[in-house]
Amino acid sequence: MALGELSGGTNTSEHKSFEDLEQISDSTPSEMAAEVRSYLGINLITQSRWHNVDEALKTWRKVVQEFGVYIFKWSFNQRTVSGFSLHHEECPLIYLNNSNAFTRQIFTIFHELAHILYHTSGVAKVDDSYIDELEGTSRRIEMSCNEFAAELLVPSEDFTRWEDRVLFDDVFFDLASQNYQVSREVILRKLRDHGRVGQEFYDSKTSQWTNDFQNGRDGGGEGNYYNNQVAYFGDKFLSLAFGSLHQGRCAAEQLSEYMNVKVRNLPALEEAFLGRSSS
């Protein structure tokens, strides 16, 4: 609702993936992945040069938003939910669970982007065993979204040099995941889907890694409030929000309500946003 009112119901992006790639949903998930990666302009060389998953997440988020899809973050109380997407003709959006690892958030971006390209809304969970309980179109779409995300992040043609290994131990998963800046689960998913490991091995490793992540959470402080809000809302939305405020298209009280931020905190939030944008 906020997006619609702040934007006047019109997406201001010069290019919109959900319009430019409107016919892509007729393709296979693998064909879709190749076309979307080319459309976004990120090749494997660029991807492999990112220093860490933080840079990877920020870059993927920025690129996807440049092509018309808003991406927000929040720390959900439901830790089992990775994120969700809301399909909209002008302002589709993706929400990421900031409580999840960065690699999980990256995968969720593309799982949910697939939903938007399929012209549907969706909810992604950390444990994808829920898909087994779905039927018909819902099951097919969820499986296709997972396949699309995995193929875009780790193209099979390139992955062949990794999956020919004899031993799939923790060292292997660490090296492969760092190469593509994805989670170990994405690498494991590729091996399973290509018949290199079985479902029992897949279930065992994903359970182990989920437990490791939960036990390894540092439980530290929440960080700077304003920097957190900037990360949650994202540059694209904040540019629209503060632009509307200064152009007189939105009152401070209304913007405060949209963002669930007190009016007196808006200047400090804008300062944090501008400071990060210029750094």
Q: Is the pLDDT of residue 47 over 80?
A: yes
What residues are paired with 94 via a beta bridge?
A: 71, 85
Per-residue pLDDT, 214: 65
Mean pLDDT computed over every residue of the chain: 89
Output the DSSP codes for 63-97: HHHHTT-EEEEE--S-TTEEEEEE--SS--EEEEE
Residue 160 vs residue 165, higher pLDDT: 160
Q: Is the pLDDT of residue 221 over 90?
A: no
d(CA 233, CA 237) in angstroms, rounded, equals 6
- Flag whether the pTM goes above 0.75: yes
Per-residue pLDDT, 206: 85
Per-residue pLDDT, 9: 82
Per-residue pLDDT, 216: 60
